[in-house]
Amino acid sequence: METAFIPFDRAADIYDATHSFPAGEERAIAALIAQAGNLRRESCVLEVGVGTGRIALPLARYVERLYGIDLSRPMMKQLRSKPDASAIRLSEANAPRLPFRRAAFDAVLLVHVLHLIADRRRALREIARVLKPDGLLLCGGDTGDMLQGELFAPIWSAWRAALPAEKIESVGLTQPVREALPPLGWRPVGAPWQHSYTVQRTPNGAYRAIEERQLSNTNTWRLSDAELEHGLRAVRAAIAAHFPQPGQLLALNVTFEVQAFQPPQAIQHTA
Ligand SMILES: C[S@@+](CC[C@H](N)C(=O)[O-])C[C@H]1O[C@@H](n2cnc3c(N)ncnc32)[C@H](O)[C@@H]1O
């Protein structure tokens, strides 16, 4: 059966504009990932769902061998156009079928990807297969930006209330990755590593992000024009009710978090 997939091709040109870290923070985040994974120069690391290289490019300062796979050619084309892209060995591949030999990597990195993969059990088995016996899965992501922050909650509750749940829910995971992995036998190693920073957003900016179908998390990509307009009407009403100055920049506290996991031994030894 084909894996359901939210195609990022359409987001490739706008992804960096809506997801870049504030200047300098990308280095702090790469350092955090390197610490969480106990990475050394000689470590061999794979990022699954490498996208435009938002994470992999700064991480390339820490490891000599960094591989990236993604299903979306346009996302990787963006990556390839950037300085230092040659530091990352890229290939087009699907997470449930990784084109690597067994026990090839010291760490596999997933940032904002697992929730997009419908066949996540198979993808995780593949990740366990390509990890060395002492290798780690590093699951990262930022929380608190305009999608999750309390400040913009009225916008997202209006959005969710206006549209049928099955149209806007994630294809793969509906719970945080950190909670989803232990029941599948993945063992957390220590506490999550965290780095906090501030971003400036406006309620009007959140509206535009929905209107222009910029964010995969809101699943605007699966909505018809009429459904999108129905959701936008609810969002306009919520903005009018809760934000007297919708063009005003508001400071949102964002935390990037990365948690290391050891794979289930049963999978590793049989894969
Ligand atoms: C939200 S983006 C995250 C990109 C990058 N990790 C980051 O944090 O900026 C998700 C990426 O995962 C890719 N992706 C989604 N499902 C995939 C799959 N089954 N196999 C490989 N890549 C996948 C998408 O094409 C997209 O580039």
Residues of the chain with pLDDT > 90, as a percent, come to 65
List the chain domain ranges. Answer: 9-270
Mean pLDDT, residues 169-187 taken together? 77
Q: Is the CB of 112 under 6 A from ligand 1?
A: yes
pLDDT digits (tens, 9 = 90+) for 63-108: 999 999 999 999 999 999 999 999 999 999 999 999 999 999 999 9
Query: Is residue 143 within 8 Å of residue 255, measured between CB atoms?
Result: yes
| Full strand arrangement of the beta sheet holding 131-143 | 88-92, 65-70, 44-48, 105-111, 131-143, 250-262, 187-201
For position 1, what pLDDT does the model report? Answer: 35
Q: What residue type is assigned to position 211 of the chain?
A: E
Calpha distance 44→214 (Å, rounded): 33
- Please tell me if the CB atom of residue 58 comes closer than 6 angstroms to any atom of ligand 1: no
**Mean pLDDT calculated for residue range 38-60:** 97
Q: Above 90 in pLDDT, residue 171?
A: no
With a 6 Å cutoff on the Cβ, whether 30 touches ligand 1 is no
**Token pair for residue 245?**
């100055």
| Position with higher pLDDT, 176 vs 89 | 89
Q: State the distance from the centre of ligand 1 to the C-alpha of 114, rounded, in angstroms.
A: 8
Nearest-CA residue for atom 11 of ligand 1: 49
Whether residue 116 contacts residue 46, with contact meaning beta carbons closer than 8 Å, is answered with no
5 lines ligand 1 (CB under 6 A): yes
Identify the band that residue 145 occupies on the pLDDT scale cut at 50, 70 and 90.
Answer: confident
Question: What does residue 86 show for φ and ψ, rounded to 5 degrees?
Answer: -65, -10
Assigned architecture for domain 9-270: 3-Layer(aba) Sandwich (3.40)
Mean pLDDT of all residues in 152-165: 90
> Cα Rg for the chain, rounded, in angstroms?
19
